[in-house]
């Protein structure tokens, strides 16, 4: 669907990533070791959109959190623009961090309820050297995500779900990122608002030459937004390939099951009979 990305350079490279969570004995639980990610490798080129698809709890978000520098891997390497992010010193990591920005699923809780839209975006802009005045930059960012400048005086509770998610995207763009990590960006959205967001993300990808790491369990979203897909189960990739090819000709039974489950047409007929 999105061609012309194969010749570009590698932006993110993940090699044999392993993430193990140790849960200490608490009042509620006994000691537990959870192997969330078990040796995952992939790379994302500049301008490319790579999706990880799988059921809840398969380890998708752990990979994203690790790439963002929030969760330390137990083993393996995460390189961004050739630098192993987990071996960088604090100063270098601080310089690199703005280039990888997250857009979370829970769009409402990602925005400070006490800040206006203007302040939310200005906060991000303040960390960046900028030629424009901050108010010009805010208006331009709002415009780039399809929002009217009048919205900048509103608080998050005065916005619709679609508008909130656009503010999250505008805030991420304020830092001039190269890679956006989109964790279920449209799963909480209505049908129409979700489609509009997909349109926006596809156009921003072209305009800002962005790369996406998309985390999702919604195959419709994935098909419209990604160039390549990896299907994840129990911490490992079980199948991967170009989006259209994989969705049209899945080879693994689990992938077939995921695709089949997204089709609800036989639901009432089989069960109500």
Partner 1 sequence: MSLLTVENLSVINSSSGRSISILKNIGFSLNSGETLAVIGETGSGKSMLCKSIIGLLPPGFLCSGNIHYTSSDNTKTSIISAEKSDLLNIRGREIGMVFQEAAASLNPVVRCGNQITDVLSVESKIDKNKAKKQARKLLETVGLSEPERIFHAYPHQLSGGMAQRVALALALAGKPQLLIADEPSSSLDSITKKYYLNLLNRLKQENNLTLILVTHDVDEALSFADNILVLYAGCMTEYGRTGAIKKAPAHPYTKALLNIARALKEKDFPTPIPGEISSLTNPPSGCRFHPRCPKAQDICRLKEPPSIDISDNHSVRCFFPAETI
On whether the CB atoms of residues 221 and 186 are closer than 8 A, the answer is yes
Residue 33 binds partner 1, judged by CB under 8 A = no
Query: How far is the C-alpha of 33 from the C-alpha of 89, rounded, in Å?
Result: 29
Of the candidate residues 217, 235, 246, 250, the single one contacting partner 1 (CB under 8 A): 217
Total residues at interface with partner 1 (CB under 8 A): 37
Decide: is 160 part of the binding site for partner 1 (CB under 8 A): yes
- How many CB atoms are located within 10 Å of the residue 20 CB? 15
Q: Which is closer to partner 1, CB of 139 or CB of 186? A: 186
DSSP 104: -
C-beta closer to partner 1: residue 102 or 162: 162
**Residue 250: CB minimum distance to partner 1, A:** 13
* DSSP letters for 55-80: -TTSSHHHHHHHHTTSS--SEEEEEE
Going by the DSSP 8-state scheme, the letter that residue 168 receives in this structure is H
Positions 161 through 200 that interact with partner 1 (CB under 8 A): 161-163, 187-188, 190-193, 195-196, 199
Whichever of 73 and 185 has its CB closer to partner 1, that residue is 185
In sequence order, which residues have a C-beta less than 8 Å from that of residue 189 and are 6 or more positions away? 161, 162, 165, 197
Q: Hey, which bits of 32-162 come out as E strands?
A: 32-45, 49-53, 75-80, 83-84, 100-103
Query: Applying CB under 8 A, which of residues 6, 25, 133, 263 lies at the interface with partner 1?
Result: 263
x/- letters, 64..103, toward partner 1 (CB under 8 A): ----------------------------------------
Q: What is the rounded distance in angstroms from the CA atom of residue 120 to the CA atom of residue 116?
A: 6
Instruction: Please identify, using beta-carbon distances, which residue of 137 and 167 lies nearer to partner 1.
Output: 167
Q: Are 15 and 66 in contact (CB under 8 A)?
A: no
Of 122 and 189, CB closest to partner 1 = 189
Q: Which residues of this protein are in contact with partner 1, per CB under 8 A?
A: 28-29, 54-57, 160-163, 187-188, 190-193, 195-196, 199, 217-220, 223-224, 257-258, 261-265, 267-268, 270-272
């Amino acid at each position: 669907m999105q061609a012309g990305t194969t010749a570009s350079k590698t932006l993110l490279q993940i090699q044999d990533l392993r993430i193990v969570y140790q849960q200490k004995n608490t009042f509620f639980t006994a000691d537990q070791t959870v192997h969330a990610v078990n040796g995952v490798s992939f790379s994302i080129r500049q301008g490319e959109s790579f999706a990880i698809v799988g059921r809840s709890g398969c380890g998708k978000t752990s990979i994203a959190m690790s790439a963002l520098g929030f969760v330390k891997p137990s083993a393996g390497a995460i390189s961004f623009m050739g630098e192993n992010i987990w071996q960088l010193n604090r100063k270098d990591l601080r310089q690199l961090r703005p280039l990888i920005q997250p857009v979370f699923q829970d769009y409402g809780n990602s925005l400070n309820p006490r800040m206006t839209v203007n302040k939310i975006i200005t906060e991000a802009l303040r960390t960046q050297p900028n030629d424009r005045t901050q108010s010009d930059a805010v208006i331009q960012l709002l415009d780039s995500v399809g929002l009217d400048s009048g919205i900048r005086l509103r608080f998050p509770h005065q916005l619709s779900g679609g508008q909130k998610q656009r503010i999250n995207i505008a805030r991420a763009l304020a830092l001039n990122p190269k890679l956006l990590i989109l964790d279920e960006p449209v799963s909480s959205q209505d049908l129409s608002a979700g489609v509009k967001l997909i349109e926006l993300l596809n156009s921003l990808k072209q305009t800002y030459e962005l790369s996406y790491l998309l985390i999702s369990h919604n195959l419709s979203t994935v098909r419209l937004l990604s160039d390549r897909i990896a299907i994840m189960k129990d911490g490992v990739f079980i199948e991967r390939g170009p989006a259209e090819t994989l969705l049209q000709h899945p080879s693994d039974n689990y992938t077939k099951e995921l695709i089949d489950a997204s089709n609800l047409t036989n639901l009432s007929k089989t069960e109500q009979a």
